[in-house]
């Protein structure tokens, strides 16, 4: 069972306490929420990179040089 350290600032006494079921559940919920948000961020970044690559390819097909494409996107 996971434990936490509790420091009572009024006494200076530190105790090691087992996490409650609610605290364990909260910990799992936080980790899940983070994983979902991270997956969303990664998907967004991948979509953005894909759109950029597509745009670069289309500009190149129009006859722009690599330097011109870079200058345009800067």
The least distance separating another protein from the CB of residue 67, rounded to whole angstroms, comes to: 23
List residues binding another protein (CB under 8 A): 2-12, 14, 16, 19, 23, 26-27, 30-31, 33-34, 37, 41
- Cβ pair 18, 3 in contact under 8 A: yes
Least distance to another protein, CB of residue 41, Å: 6
CA distance 40 to 49: 14
The pair of structure tokens assigned to 2 is 């996971």
Q: How far is the CB of 65 from another protein (least distance, A)?
A: 27
- Tokens, residue 25: 């559940």
């Amino acid at each position: 069972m996971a434990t936490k350290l509790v420091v009572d600032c009024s006494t200076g006494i530190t105790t090691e306490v087992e996490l409650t079921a609610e605290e364990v559940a909260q910990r799992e919920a936080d980790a899940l929420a983070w994983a979902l948000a991270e997956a969303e961020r990664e998907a967004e970044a991948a979509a953005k990179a894909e759109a950029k690559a597509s745009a670069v390819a289309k500009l190149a097909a129009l006859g722009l040089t690599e330097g011109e494409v870079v200058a345009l996107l800067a």
